[in-house]
Structure 1
């Protein structure tokens, strides 16, 4: 059985949902950078999208380096869920 992660609530573990599907494509990267900049160390943004954002991941690695970890929670066509965790 497959586990499907849902992006519609805040959890007590400091995981904050970010559903990119509802943001106009031209604003998405700026909104994502702003959300990651707002995270405190130890907090996680759970990112949901309809496609695998490989160019964005490269930009995030360049901008944040080791300050943000990237962990796929779900990686299926049309259903991508990635946790971006702020480190120290």
Structure 2
């Protein structure tokens, strides 16, 4: 596991293995939407979530940095860091603005 660089802000763990598959992507989007600029969510899963990563790139674009920390066939750890702006702000998320 490569832990060479450490984010400056606190890292919020998100273990997807305990979330039902039916709810997993919605839970991940919700968690990412709750992050503030500079914050990181450390995603842990039992497989490489390539379809999810494609969805995240489409939804958040350059406002979300994606960095693998571990990439094994049985264990994946990815840091998602909000680079600038709030994820979802430019995607018409429908939030009233009173949430943040």
Which TM-score band applies after superposition, normalised by the shorter structure? 0.7 to 0.9
CA-CA distance at 1:13 after TM superposition: 3.5
Give TM-score, length-normalised by structure 2: 0.76
**Structure with more of its chain in strand, by fraction:** 1
Give TM-score, length-normalised by structure 1: 0.86
Deviation beyond 3 Å, 4+ runs, structure 1: none
Unaligned ranges ≥5, structure 2? 85-100
Unaligned ranges ≥5, structure 1? 6-11
Give aligned pairs, total.
81
Q: Does 1:66 align with 2:68?
A: no
CA-CA distance at 1:49 after TM superposition: 0.1
* Distance (Å, rounded) in 2 between the aligned partners of 1:45 and 1:24: 19
**Structure with more of its chain in helix, by fraction:** 1
One of 10, 13, 16 as aligned partner of 1:20:
16
RMSD: 1.7
Greater gyration radius: 2
